[in-house]
Amino acid sequence: MYFTFTDPKYLFLLLVIPFIVFIYLLTIKSMKKRALKFANFEAIARVQGVSFFSRDIVTIILSSLIVLVLVLSVSGLTLHRQAQASSFSFVIAIDVSRSMEAKDLLPSRLEAAKETAKEFVNAAPSTTKIAVVSFSGNSYIHQSLTDKKDLVIDALDGVKISSIEGTDIYEAIVTSSNLLTAEEGRSIILLSDGQINVGEVEDAIKYANQNDIVINTIAIGTKEGGETVYGVSKLNEDIMKALSYNTEGNYFDAQDRQSLLNSLDQILKLTKKKVSTDLSGHLVLLAIILFVIEYFLINSRYRLLPF
The residue-averaged pLDDT of 101-115 equals 88
Confidence band for 306, pLDDT divided at 50, 70 and 90: very low
Q: Does pLDDT of 173 surpass 90?
A: yes
Tell me the pLDDT of the chain averaged across its residues: 81
Rounded to 10 deg, the angle between the 169-179 and 201-210 helix axes is 10
Residues 288 and 266 in one domain: no
b vs e for 142-174, b when ≥16 Cβ sit within 10 Å of the residue's Cβ? bbebbeeeebbbebbeebebbeeebbbbbbbbb
| Residue 82, H or E segment | strand 77-84
pLDDT for residue 305: 47
Domain count, the chain: 2
**Radius of gyration (Cα) for the chain, nearest Å?**
29
Residues 103 and 186 in one domain: yes
Which DSSP state fits 198? B
Residues 102 and 249 in one domain: yes
Question: For residue range 127-162, what is the model confidence (pLDDT) as tens digits?
Answer: 889 999 999 989 999 999 999 999 999 999 999 998
CA distance 262 to 245: 18
pLDDT for residue 39: 54
Residues 55 and 156 in one domain: no
Q: Does pLDDT of 49 surpass 50?
A: no
Helix, strand, coil abundance in the chain, percent, nearest 5 = 50, 20, 30
Which DSSP state fits 191? E
Closest residue by Cα to residue 8 from 112, 78, 55: 78
Residues 38 and 131 in one domain: no
Instruction: Decide: 80 and 275 in contact? Cβ < 8 Å.
Output: yes
Residues 251 and 295 in one domain: no
Q: Which residues contact 210 (CB under 8 A, 6 or more apart)?
A: 6, 276
Question: For residue range 198-226, what is the model confidence (pLDDT) as tens digits?
Answer: 768 899 999 998 888 999 999 888 888 77
Residues 214 and 266 in one domain: yes
Closest residue by Cα to residue 90 from 174, 248, 213, 196: 213
Dihedral over alpha carbons 153, 155, 156, 162 (to 10 degrees): 170
Model pTM above 0.85: no
**What is the CATH classification number for the domain harbouring 158?**
3.40.50.410
Instruction: Decide: 132 and 145 in contact? Cβ < 8 Å.
Output: no
The residue-averaged pLDDT of 120-127 equals 88
Residues 96 and 33 in one domain: no
Residues 209 and 116 in one domain: yes
Residues 178 and 258 in one domain: yes
pLDDT for residue 50: 43
Question: For residue range 56-100, what is the model confidence (pLDDT) as tens digits?
Answer: 677 788 888 988 989 888 888 877 666 555 478 999 999 999 889
Q: Does pLDDT of 117 surpass 50?
A: yes
Closest residue by Cα to residue 113 from 218, 238, 235, 256: 218
Residues 266 and 121 in one domain: yes
Residues 110 and 42 in one domain: no
Q: Domain containing 60: what range? A: 2-76+279-304
pLDDT for residue 204: 92
pLDDT for residue 130: 95
